[in-house]
Amino acid sequence: MKPLIITAAICGAEVTREHTPKLPLTAEELAEEAFKAEKAGASIIHLHVRDATGEPTQDKEVFRAAIEAMKDRGVTAIIQPSTGGAAGMTWQERIQPAYLSPEMASLDCGTLNFGDTIFVNDMPLMRNFAKTMAEHKIFPELECFEPGHIYNALRLRDEGLLPEHLHFDIVLGVPGAMKASPKNLLFMTELLPETVTWTAAGIGRHQLMINHLTIAMGGHVRVGFEDNIYYTRGRLAESNAELVERIVRIVQDSDRTVATPEEAREILHIKGGQK
């Protein structure tokens, strides 16, 4: 098996300081958190940003400040801004970080119930995002919360809107969408073409179970406060790095190795290629 890529989703759009006082919000806090997560073993930082009041924003300049702060702090991991933002944002708001031409960005592949709201991703929006990412030489991570999302992604591929190598993120356990279970992860991954790479995210208390399964199945791992703020039941994680450190131990005990940022670029075919 190839080295395993750990993605740290360090902030998200929904978690608040009321949920966990450890949540990084400002550019400097995000940079410090990303740096420590990378030192612990993360090679991708999935990035959401917040405005001065702590609310989620997709403002290009707020992303620019966070990315610059990360680079100044010494982050060499792949920085992957979200183009999902928060449910209810317009597509014009959401696409803004793509104009900064990051190495990678998330591309959500379908509409779903997201808690009490609807996270809208129709085909025209997805085509628009995929085209914009291709124009800016951004490698997309294809976020799929339901089986139909995988078919939508393959439709984008058939329309020539995606790079040759495809990388998926299977997200399970969002309230209103597909539940996190071994059976559902197996079902979702069996829909994927053989040549792709994939990671998976389990929401809330399901994070660790999904992490264990993906390590055993040859996938990659996503952890972080965006999906889960607890280390164990009732005990908040000290940091994103603490969650990453545990994954590193499990990966090594499972006789797999953890990818460096450069290895992650090779595995994803973005080294000197896509960007």
Q: Choose, by CB under 5 A, the member of 7, 43, 58, 82 that binds Zn ion.
A: 82
Distance CA(161)–CA(16), nearest Å, equals 35
Residue 5, binding choice from Zn ion, ligand KMH, none, Cβ under 5 to 8 Å by partner class = none
Q: Which is nearer to Zn ion, 7 or 82 (CB)?
A: 82
Q: Which is nearer to Zn ion, 97 or 219 (CB)?
A: 97
Show the tokens assigned to 217.
Answer: 């199945």
Q: Which is nearer to Zn ion, 100 or 263 (CB)?
A: 100
Smallest distance, Å, CB 13 to ligand KMH? 4
Smallest distance, Å, CB 247 to ligand KMH? 20
Distances (CA, A) of 58 to 36, 93, 228: 24, 6, 21
Distance CA(147)–CA(15), nearest Å, equals 26
Contact 67, 61 (CB under 8 A): no
Distance CA(122)–CA(117), nearest Å, equals 15
Q: Which residues are near ligand KMH by CB under 6 A?
A: 13-14, 82-84, 86-87, 106, 108, 114, 119, 143
Smallest distance, Å, CB 194 to ligand KMH? 25
What 3-state DSSP class applies to 78?
strand
Q: Which is nearer to ligand KMH, 83 or 228 (CB)?
A: 83
Q: Which is nearer to ligand KMH, 82 or 152 (CB)?
A: 82
Per-residue x/- marks for Zn ion, 41-80, CB under 5 A?
----------------------------------------
Which residues, at least 6 apart from 266, have a Cβ–Cβ distance to it below 8 Å? none
Among the listed residues 76, 79, 30, 78, the one whose alpha carbon sits nearest the alpha carbon of residue 51: 30
Residues found near Zn ion in the complex (CB under 5 A): 82
